[in-house]
Amino acid sequence: MRHKYLKNVATIELDIEKCIGCKMCINVCPHQVLTIKDKKAFIQNKDYCIECGACDKNCPVDAIMVKSGVG
């Protein structure tokens, strides 16, 4: 069962131009927020994002940004 939290609050943004399709963001995401589409990252479930910042921290080209707050 998929737990659902508040909608339309997550601050995750993806800059598709910078993305190199390395899939690090997909590997580290605990809630399958991202997937691969046309060889690049794609946000498929923005409302499941918990803003942990793992994707932001592990993107080697700074294509993902998340306001992860105090942790």
Partner 1 sequence: MIEGYISTPIGDIKKIKTYLSKKDILQDIHTRIKIKRDDFRIETGVYAIGDPDKTSPVLITANYKLTFDKLRKELQNLNLWILVIDTKGINVWCAAGKGTFGTEEIINKVVQTKLVEIVAHKNLMLPQLGAPGVSAHTIKKYTGFKVIYGPVRAEDIPEFLATGYKATEEMRKVEFNLYDRLVLTPLELIISLRYFIMIPILLFILNLISGQDLGIEKVLNLTILESIPYLGAFIIGTLVVPLLLPIIPFRSFSLKGVVIGIIWSMVTAYIRNMLMLDFQWIILIANGLILTSIITVLSLNFTGSSTYTSFSGVMKETVWTYPFVILASLIGVMSMIVGKIGDRLL
Answer yes or no whether residue 37 interacts with partner 1 by CB under 8 A.
no
Per the CB < 8 A criterion, the answer to whether 20 and 61 are in contact is: yes
CB of 17 to partner 1, least distance (A): 19
- Cβ atoms of 45 and 31 within 8 Å: the answer is yes
Per-residue DSSP letters for 15-32? -TTT-----HHHHH-TT-
Q: Does 65 bind partner 1 (CB under 8 A)?
A: no
Out of 15, 20, 21, 32, the only residue in the binding site for partner 1 (CB under 8 A) is 32
Interacting residues with partner 1 (CB under 8 A) = 1, 3-7, 9-11, 24, 27-32, 48-54, 57-58, 60, 67-71
